[in-house]
Amino acid sequence: MASEPQDAAFSTSQASPADLDSESLSPLEQEVLDEYARLLGNLNTMSALLLDLSNKPSAAILDGLRGLERKTSLVFTLLKASVYSIVLNQQIGEGGSEEGDREAGDRGSVDGR
């Protein structure tokens, strides 16, 4: 346990008066304190890593997001084109049936004169 590397915050916390009086601690209490000290070191390391990751986004993540953005915009464009095509076909179909009705009505009125 004593051969493990320790950071500055961890080493300053070990110089407390409670450690000087370690003879009064039972072995179990000392082991629990050592585990808490190791946990503190691990949490400090993890905090530093998370801070570093949050400050510098990974290039791989950015490339993936760019690709996703391209695909999303392509899907959006294709969707708009499909909707436009459907609406246009409906208008042509409605216009064709209206013209057919008008032509039949015109022929009927000409024949009726």
Three-state SS across the chain?
A: CCCCCCCHHHHHHHCCHHHHCHHHCCHHHHHHHHHHHHHHHHHHHHHHHHHHHHHCCCHHHHHHHHHHHHHHHHHHHHHHHHHHHHHHHHHHHHHHHHHHHHHHHHHHHHHHC
Angstrom distance (rounded) from CA 31 to CA 24 = 13
Residue-number span of the structural domain to which 103 is assigned: 58-113
Residue 5's pLDDT band, with cuts at 50, 70 and 90, is very low
Angstrom distance (rounded) from CA 49 to CA 29 = 30
Sign of CA dihedral 38, 42, 45, 51: negative
- The pLDDT tens digits of the residues spanning 55-69 come to 887 888 888 899 999
Assess whether 65 and 46 both reside in one domain. no
For residue 5, give the nearest of 31, 44, 32, 33 by alpha carbon: 44
For range 104-111, the mean pLDDT:
57
User: Residue 36's pLDDT is what?
Assistant: 96
Assess whether 89 and 52 both reside in one domain. no
Assess whether 80 and 64 both reside in one domain. yes
Split into its structural domains, the chain has a count of: 2
User: Residue 85's pLDDT is what?
Assistant: 95
Assess whether 50 and 62 both reside in one domain. no
Residue 3's pLDDT band, with cuts at 50, 70 and 90, is very low
Q: Retrieve residue 66's tokens.
A: 């760019």
Of 29, 56, 83, at which residue does a domain stop? 56
User: Residue 2's pLDDT is what?
Assistant: 43
Of 56, 77, 99, at which residue does a domain stop? 56
